[in-house]
Structure formats: C-alpha cells, structure tokens
C-alpha cells in the first residue's frame, strides 16, 4: 500500500527538500503551498498523514488543522517556530498529534511519521474489547462507548486512553505515556500528554474541569479511575 503524505509549507525550497527526503523513505508526497490548496488536495486524494507548517499565508496552520480534524482522524504533525511555547500548545489543541520545531532533521520527521503510521496500522489488527466501568474501548474501531453513547476519538487519543485503560487505577507517568503512545524517549515533551489528556477529557468526561475517568495524580502522572 502506498502511503501518501500531504505536506503543507509555503517556503518552496523547504517543501522541495522535504519532499525529496520523504520520497527517499518511499512515501508519496502531495505538496501544498497554502491552506486552501491543502484542503482541496485533502478532499481530492486519500491522505495518510498531514504535515502542516503553522506559519501559512491565508488559512493558517491552526485553522487548517481544525478544519481537517473536523472531517478526519488522519494523523497530523505540526511544524512550529522553535521558540514559541504558545504555538506548540495551540497547535496540539487545534488537533495535531505531534509537533516538530524548525529546523529539524528529516530523519527525525521520518521517525515521527513512522511512529504515527505504525499506530494507525496496529489499530486495524484484531484486539479484544476492553471495558472499564461504563467505558468500553473497541480497539478494532477506535471508538469508545460510554454507556450507550458512542464517542469518536482520534487515534492518538484512543491510544492514550487505551494505555491507561489497560491497567485501571495504575498511575502512568508522562514519560511512560510518551514512550508508549508517541514513541519518544526521555526528552519527549510532556505537553503532548497534557494537551491530549485535556482533549480526551472534553470528549469522555461529563465535566472536563472535574474529571471522573482520566485523573491527574500530581507530580506523578495520570490514571484511569475505576
């Protein structure tokens, strides 16, 4: 199966160089130099992963990310300005699964892409149903049922919930979750976990401000309360 990556970047030189590097990995690259073009391409083609530079003319990266997220669960990697914490958190909150800061090594990008794609593929293997209280995780569909309500999660959110649900009440550190869900080592960014937990809560909790399922254990990490 041919993997197709939509790369959105307004700097033509960077786009070309990245395309070369990604094609060397054996992936197909669909190029877009603006958010508008990217949306058009996304509707036209089957896309397995989207790479978005936040700084875009017209529709900016955050908006593009939200637009795509509203219609698809496709993994999204954001490219942010290195020195902007705000951009990183905003990008993750807009629905990105992971981020990279410029200038990054294309090898690092490939590793991130592989981590996200590997997860996507492993999602399609048959796994038994996981049940914690009212929560029912169907790994096959990437869908969570809460009572008789069906909740749609992105793959990363689902994977995160799954890691916690496998051992209810066991506290998982951010480092552990970063490694399991994103494939990061010690220097992974804990904000990835925090923002994804926030996103997860808005979907599965009755009141995201006082969570009943995904509980923060201060200074330790997170656990799924049962």
Partner 1 sequence: MKNRSRLWHRRLPLRARIIGAFTLGAIIAALFLVIITYGLSRESMLRQRETSSQEQFFANARQVQGALRAEDPDFALLLESLPSLSGSRSILRTSENTWVSLSLAPSDLPTLLIDEVKNASTARQMRYRLEGESQLAVGLRLRPSQISTLTDVAYFEITPLSEIENTLESLGLILILGAIATVLIGASAGLWASGRVLSPLTDISAVAQALANGQFAARVETTDDPDLMPIIRSFNDMAATMEQRIAKDARFASDVSHELRSPLMTLRASIEVMQSRRIELPERASQALDLLAGDVDRFEKLVQDLLDLARSNSGSIPSDLVNMTELVEATVAMFEKQPPISILDGANNALVIGDKRRLAQVFDNLLRNAEKYANGATLIEITQSEGRVYVSVEDAGPGVSPSERELIFQAFTRGNAAKNRGTGGGAGLGLALVDEHTRRHGGSAKAGNRKDGHRGARFTIDLPMVGRK
7 vs 28: CA distance, rounded Å:
10
Nearer to partner 1, 14 or 130 (CB): 14
**SS3 state at 141:** coil
- Which of 31, 63, 93, 104: binder of partner 1 (CB under 8 A)? 104
- First-to-last C-alpha distance (Å) of the chain: 40
Mask: binding to partner 1, 48-77, rule CB under 8 A, as x and -? ------------------------------
Q: Does 152 bind partner 1 (CB under 8 A)?
A: no
Sign of CA dihedral 52, 58, 62, 65: negative
Nearer to partner 1, 119 or 196 (CB): 196
Length of the chain measured in residues: 226
* Residue 163: both structure tokens together: 């890691």
At residue 99, φ and ψ (nearest 5 deg) are: -145, 160
Angle at 127 between CA 216 and CA 151, to 5 degrees: 50
Q: Does 111 bind partner 1 (CB under 8 A)?
A: no
Within positions 158 to 217, which residues make up the interface with partner 1, using CB under 8 A? 185-187, 189-190
202 vs 154: CA distance, rounded Å:
13
142 vs 152: CA distance, rounded Å:
7
22 vs 162: CA distance, rounded Å:
30
- Which of 5, 7, 18, 78: binder of partner 1 (CB under 8 A)? 18
- Which of 1, 2, 13, 148: binder of partner 1 (CB under 8 A)? 13
Min dist. Cβ of residue 132 to partner 1 (A): 28
Of the candidate spans 16-24, 90-98, 119-127, 147-155, the one that interacts with partner 1 by CB under 8 A turns out to be: 16-24
Point out which residues pair with 60 in neighbouring strands: none
Min dist. Cβ of residue 103 to partner 1 (A): 4
Nearer to partner 1, 83 or 148 (CB): 83
Binding site for partner 1 (CB under 8 A): 11, 13-14, 16-18, 20-21, 24, 81-83, 85, 102-107, 185-187, 189-190, 219
């Amino acid at each position: 199966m041919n993997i197709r990556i939509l790369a959105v970047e307004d700097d033509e030189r960077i786009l070309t160089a990245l395309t070369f590097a990604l094609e060397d990995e054996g992936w197909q690259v669909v190029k877009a130099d603006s958010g508008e073009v990217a949306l058009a391409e996304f509707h036209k083609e089957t896309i397995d992963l989207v790479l978005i530079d936040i700084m875009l003319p017209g529709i900016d990266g955050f908006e593009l990310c939200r637009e795509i997220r509203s219609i698809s669960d496709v993994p999204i990697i954001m490219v942010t300005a290195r020195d902007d914490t705000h951009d990183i958190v905003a990008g993750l909150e807009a629905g990105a699964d992971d981020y990279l800061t410029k200038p990054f090594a294309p090898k690092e990008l490939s590793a991130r892409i592989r981590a996200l794609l590997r997860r996507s593929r492993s999602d399609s293997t048959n796994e038994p149903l996981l049940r914690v209280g009212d929560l029912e995780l169907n790994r096959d569909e990437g869908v969570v049922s809460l009572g008789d309500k069906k909740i749609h999660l992105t793959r990363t959110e689902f994977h995160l919930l799954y890691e916690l649900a496998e051992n209810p009440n066991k506290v998982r550190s951010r480092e552990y979750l970063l490694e399991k869900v994103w494939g990061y080592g010690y220097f992974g960014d804990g904000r990835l976990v925090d923002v994804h937990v926030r996103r997860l809560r808005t979907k599965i909790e009755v009141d995201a401000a006082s969570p009943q399922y995904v509980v923060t254990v201060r200074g330790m990490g997170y656990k799924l309360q049962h």
